Copies of this chain bind each other. A is one copy, B any other.
């Protein structure tokens, strides 16, 4: 490869550096740096000339070099278990929006519901020297040493949605208990007395809490808790049909079903429809979380909407607060209010919306 010895500001393949700008004007690199970073103690004329030269030469600061000696990247790492899921897509949208407005960069990592990848993600993000991490754990995650390692290094972490409350981080969750309670109480108000619940992995905090909400609603209304009606699954898509079959095969099949993940409710409804079961009169449905499928499916699904975008917005704000205030920051938790949306999947005859 041959190197031109003529100054060739515009055509060189190597990116323009601060040195090029300095040479171009015959000033020192520190002067250029000062001008570009809006420091005081610089002659306005020099400053203007430098800024103009930077534009003319199409100089772009090297982010790597800047971060390396500032010790801060102004970047936030986000770990998402499943970007394909509408809930997480909306959370991400909220995060991105606030990041844009506050000048933070975002690196999104996708754990793909795998504990192993989640751990790798945390290592990647640490290697990238992100200023903070937002994380929702994979379904498989029951060990949290990888998070402890991060917080011990003084890197702020905020857990959202799927949190482990024993970690010393800020958290943001929705009203899992209340949402489940409201959904189940609504089913009861529609005349359901044998309410099945399709839950996720036993160890997942949100599943535990939602089942507690379910139980509390039954108890409030004097309905006995029957463990046959409580089914744990992997909340993968596709499991709904099998679990519906289990339910309708029971001696006393449920007359209402509460799904801890809305998409499973849809799957079960689809299977039920194909078997000729009348929804909601023979079997009513309700699920946690709203999305377009819940709205468009026939019948549309009664849900507890937990405002995922808002969760994302609040999560990143909490994180930035922590980043700006590392020394004396006490982690805290926030709970976002949701709302019950009643649709046809649960409205039995004689009821009106």
Contact = CB atoms under 8 A, between A and B. Distances in A.
**How many copies of this chain?**
2
A60 B123 contact: yes
Nearest to A237: B292
Chain A interface size band reads 35 or more
Nearest to A292: B293
A61 B117 CA distance: 19
Contacts of A293: 292-293, 296
A297 B90 CA distance: 21
B124 A105 contact: yes
A65 interface: yes
A112 interface: yes
B93 A84 contact: yes
Most B C-beta atoms less than 10 A away, residue of A107, A112, A149: A107
A303 interface: no
A149 B266 CA distance: 47
A154 B73 CA distance: 25
Interface stretch (A125-133, A207-215, A313-321): A125-133
Contact of A83 (B89, B117, B237): B89
B128 A63 contact: yes
Given A92-B83, A96-B110, A61 B105 contact: no
Contacts of A73: 64
Given A84-B86, A84-B90, A117-B100, A61 B127 contact: yes
A205 interface: no
A13 interface: yes
Interface in A58-97: 58, 60-65, 67-68, 73, 83-84, 86, 89-90, 92-93, 96
Contacts of A93: 83-84, 110, 112
A270 interface: yes
Nearest to A99: B110
A9 interface: no
Contacts of A235: none
A36 interface: no
Nearest to A124: B105
Contacts of A39: none
Contact of A107 (B107, B149, B296, B298): B107
Contacts of A153: 13, 15
A309 to B, nearest CB: 10
The 3 closest A-B pairs by CB, nearest first: A63-B127, A298-B298, A84-B89
